[in-house]
Amino acid sequence: MKKFKIFIMFMAALCAVSAVAWSGCADNEKQPSGDIGGNGQGNEEPTVGTEVGDICPDFSVKTYFDANDGSFTLDDCKGKVTVINFWYTQCSPCISEMPYFVQLSNEQEDVQVLVVHSATNIPKDGKVSDFIEDKGWTDSSIIFCQDDPTADVAAYDTLGGVDSFPYTVVIDAEGIIAHKFDSAKIESYDELLDPVLDAMK
């Protein structure tokens, strides 16, 4: 009889331990990891910044070929995928990739292409508009602009440029930076088109 009581007590203790262990496992299964993309910040709202995934900061540039000496801000193309290319007339890689931006603007009507001439590399004669026209780039829907050399912070710097050209930023319709080409010449139209199409999804 004594052995039987010991056996009953042993089995009760074993059941209690098993129940606690099972409860702990169940709790662990319910805990969210919060580790989306490996940074543990998957649920955070994007903030304004210059990296992919950030909200693109707003900026203002002067437009060429505008009789009213107009200006352009990012808010002007709200709701559209926007491609912003920074260049200057003495930059050979900038010039060689420009036909891809012309093609993009002509083939993708829902995409706004903005081409901004550098604020610090304005040619001595100041004839940027003549240069653009001589190249035949105006046969497109590109908005050609001039970064403001008198601004406290140029648009190039605002968007994360680091003293090298060309520099291109792709922004999705929600104003989020979707892709960046950092100081590397785009070698083909498809190389430019692919991240633009991804931003349109």
d(CA 114, CA 181): 15
Q: Strands 111-117, 60-63: parallel, antiparallel or unpaired by DSSP?
A: unpaired
- Structural domain boundaries in the chain: 2-31, 60-200
pTM, 2 dp:
0.76
- Is pLDDT at 26 greater than 60 in this prediction? no
SS3 sequence of 120-189: CCCCCCCCHHHHHHHCCCCCCCCEEEECCCCCCCCHHHHCCCCCCCCEEEEECCCCEEEEEEECCCCCCH
What are the pLDDT digits (tens) for 114-169? 999 998 888 877 789 999 999 999 999 999 999 988 888 999 999 999 889 999 99
* DSSP SS3 for 21: helix
The class that CATH gives domain 60-200 is alpha beta
Q: Evaluate if residue 5 carries a pLDDT over 80.
A: no
Listed residue (58, 128, 47) closest to 94, CA to CA? 128
Q: For the sheet containing 60-63, what is the strand order? A: 71-73, 60-63, 143-146, 111-117, 81-87, 167-171, 177-182
Q: Output b/e per residue, 39-65; b: 16+ Cβ within 10 A.
A: eeeeeeeeeeebeeeeebbebbbbbbe
pLDDT score at 146: 94
Residue 78: its pLDDT value, please? 87
In the chain, % of residues over pLDDT 90: 63
Please say if the pLDDT value at position 34 is more than 60: no
Strand partners, 62: 71, 146
The pLDDT, as a whole number, for residue 118 is 93
> Which pLDDT belongs to residue 69?
65
Q: Which helix (DSSP H) or strand (DSSP E) does residue 104 occupy?
A: helix 92-107
Which DSSP letter does residue 46 get?
P
Q: Residue range 41-64: average pLDDT?
A: 89
How many of the other CB atoms lie within 10 Å of CB of 160?
17
DSSP letter (8 states) at residue 62: E
Q: What are the pLDDT digits (tens) for 155-191?
A: 999 999 988 999 999 999 999 999 999 867 899 999 9
CB 42 within 8 A of CB 35: yes
pLDDT 10s digits, 67-117:
556 889 999 988 999 999 999 999 999 999 999 999 999 999 999 999 999
